[in-house]
Amino acid sequence: MTSYATLTDEDLTAFLDGEVSEARSREIEARVNADPYLQQRLEALALDTELIHDAFGDLLLQAPGAPALLGSSAVTAPPTRRIWPSLVAASLAGALFAGGLGAFFADGGPQNDWRGYVASYQALYVGKTLSHLDRSDGTKAAELAIVADTIGKDIALDALTAEGSLDYKRAQILGFKGRPLIQLAFLSKMGEPLALCIIRGEAGADEAMTSAAMEGLSAASWARDGFAYILIGGTDQAAVDSAAQHFAAVL
Amino acid sequence: MSLTQDTIQNEVRQGLIPLFPRLWRYCIVVTGNPDRANDVAQAACVRALEKAHQFQAGTKLDRWVFRIAQRLWLNELRSDAVRQGGGMATLDEIDLPDPGPDAETNAYARQVMMEVMGLPEAQRTTVLLVYVEGYSYREACEILDIPIGTVMSRLAAARTSLTKKLRTEKGMMS
């Protein structure tokens, strides 16, 4: 009935949000394909809603515990809460980690070294932590520029994608004892999560590359020109070493 | 209170505990300020327990509680916040919790969040429900108590301004 009426921004929004019937969706698609002006209008509405979804994820981590009136003596962690050991050292110990993860850290615990913390953190990653992320190069480059800037380093997206065996997914700022630490996350061809973490270190404290298994994961670490690095993830040490050599050469 | 009512109240109470972080996030987006979000989220929990007998077992607790929070804010707490003025941040000033130096933070994500928070209250609330919480238009209009056409026009307006802003930012950074 309204087939040939003008398509409003609301119609196009509902189309983008999958809120129209299949027949209506096909009709809008056909009209957009045949009309450059409609294409422009659709493009002006083509927001990356996944980005919005992800952007608000961190707010869940910052939520206070449920109020006492709910009778919850234990603070309830949302299922998406990510665990970062340095937070334990800060102030969130106790209730937050009273459950299984408390036992995890108490049982030998990670090494008292940033790389040990990284290894413990990486051990919590699974392929699905990253596999849903499918973002444009523009988004990744913009994110990478901001993240790399926190440690005062220029990192080009090309340097992370040219390696070939790893699919670059995401950059995040983490913290270790008040110092920024960046995490660049990858998926291997086998779907295993890997992370390249970089922290600003002491100038002149260069270290040759060493390989070791940490938390059951393959890892290679090195330090050069005032930055310390670790690449960790999966169980294929040769693959990790090879990718680490690449990163050491280009970063 | 009958045994059944007691059971329903317990169910609501148990359901609210894991729901609380999402409720609080919703309140941050609605109110634009962590202090006000704490107030509204707590008040919504109190109201939900008081009205637990009205909750229909088997329906979605999250939608019901979000709707309670929305009504509390619009009908009662929002006008208090406006009246208090002076000492409190005005409703136009957006304040987000400080992630802190040690918190895991994604800087670009925070910029995106700030752009969403810069939208008018009605738009950003609808964006949160549909694009972050993943509710359908129909569910969002029930929570917000508005016609479905209003949900669509808010989202269309939000998409237009966010697409423009995020493209400009990306252009500036690249």
Q: Could you tell me the two tokens for B24?
A: 């609080």
DSSP chain B: --HHHHHHHHHHHHHHHHHHHHHHHHHHHHHSSHHHHHHHHHHHHHHHHHTGGGS-TTS-HHHHHHHHHHHHIIIIIHHHHHHHGGGSPPTTS-------TTS-B-HHHHHHHHHHHTS-HHHHHHHIIIIIS---HHHHHHHHTS-HHHHHHHHHHHHHHHHHHHHHHHHHH-
Q: Tens digits of per-residue pLDDT, A10-69?
A: 999 999 999 999 999 999 999 999 999 999 999 999 999 999 998 998 888 888 888 887
In the sheet that holds A166-176, the strands lie side by side as A166-176, A179-188, A193-200, A227-232, A217-224, A207-214
CA distance A33 to chain B (A): 20
Which letter does DSSP use for residue A126 in this model? -
Region B115-122: mean pLDDT is: 94
Q: Collect all residues of chain B within an 8 Å Cβ-Cβ radius of residue A152.
A: none
Residue of A nearest to B28 (CA): A59
Q: Tens digits of per-residue pLDDT, A105-164?
A: 333 333 347 788 788 778 877 887 788 788 788 888 888 888 888 888 889 898 898 888
Strand segments, DSSP code E, in chain A are 166-176, 179-188, 193-200, 207-214, 217-224, 227-232
- CA pair distance B14, B53, nearest whole angstrom: 14
Q: Collect all residues of chain B within an 8 Å Cβ-Cβ radius of residue A59.
A: 24-25, 28, 96-97, 113
Which has the minimum average pLDDT: A38-52, A191-205, B148-162? Answer: A191-205
The SS3 of residue A241 is helix
Which letter does DSSP use for residue A213 in this model? E
- CA pair distance A151, B31, nearest whole angstrom: 34
- CA pair distance A240, A186, nearest whole angstrom: 12
Q: Which of B38, B149, B159 sits opposite A64 (nearest CB)?
A: B38
User: What ipTM describes this predicted complex?
Assistant: 0.87
Q: Which long-range contacts (CB under 8 A, 24 or more apart) does A15-19 make?
A: A15/A42, A16/A42, A16/A45, A16/A46, A16/A47, A16/B159, A17/A49, A17/B130, A17/B137, A17/B155, A19/B136, A19/B137, A19/B152
Residue A130 neighbours by CB under 8 Å, 6+ apart:
A169, A170, A185, A186, A187, A193
Contact B20 A8 (CB under 8 A): no
- CA pair distance B36, A219, nearest whole angstrom: 46
Sign of CA dihedral A146, A151, A155, A160: negative
A128 touches B at CB < 8 Å: no
Helix (H) or strand (E) holding A20, with range, is: none
The SS3 of residue A174 is strand
State yes or no: pLDDT of A72 exceeds 60: no
The CATH class, in words, for A114-250 is alpha beta
Q: Which long-range contacts (CB under 8 A, 24 or more apart) does A89-98 make?
A: A89/A177, A90/B100, A90/B102, A95/A65, A98/A74
Q: Could you tell me the two tokens for B70?
A: 């929305």
- CA pair distance B125, B155, nearest whole angstrom: 10
What is the rounded average pLDDT for all residues in chain A?
Answer: 78
Q: Collect all residues of chain B within an 8 Å Cβ-Cβ radius of residue A150.
A: 107
A62 touches B at CB < 8 Å: yes
How many Cβ contacts (< 8 angstroms) between chains A and B? 176
B8-43 core/surface letters (b: 16 or more CB in 10 A; e: else): bbeebbebbbbbbbbbbbbbbbbbbbbebbbbbbbb
Q: Note the pLDDT of residue B82.
A: 66
Maximum average pLDDT range among A146-150, A169-173, B122-126: B122-126
- CA pair distance B65, A7, nearest whole angstrom: 35
Show the domains of chain B with their CATH numbers.
1-96 (1.10.1740.10), 98-174 (1.10.10.10)
Contact A14 B42 (CB under 8 A): no
Q: Which amino acid is at B127?
A: V
A146 touches B at CB < 8 Å: yes
CA distance A178 to chain B (A): 6
Q: Note the pLDDT of residue A106.
A: 31
- CA pair distance A120, A113, nearest whole angstrom: 11
B99 touches A at CB < 8 Å: yes
Region B122-137: mean pLDDT is: 96
Residue A73 neighbours by CB under 8 Å, 6+ apart:
none
Q: Note the pLDDT of residue A93.
A: 30
Helix (H) or strand (E) holding A5, with range, is: none
Q: Note the pLDDT of residue B84.
A: 62
Name the percent of chain B lying above pLDDT 90: 56
Q: Collect all residues of chain A within an 8 Å Cβ-Cβ radius of residue B99.
A: 58, 62
Burial of B57 (0-12, 13-18, 19+ CB in 10 A): exposed
The SS3 of residue A8 is coil
Residue of B nearest to A70 (CA): B13
What is the rounded average pLDDT for all residues in chain B?
Answer: 85
Rounded to 10 deg, the angle between the B107-117 and B148-173 helix axes is 140
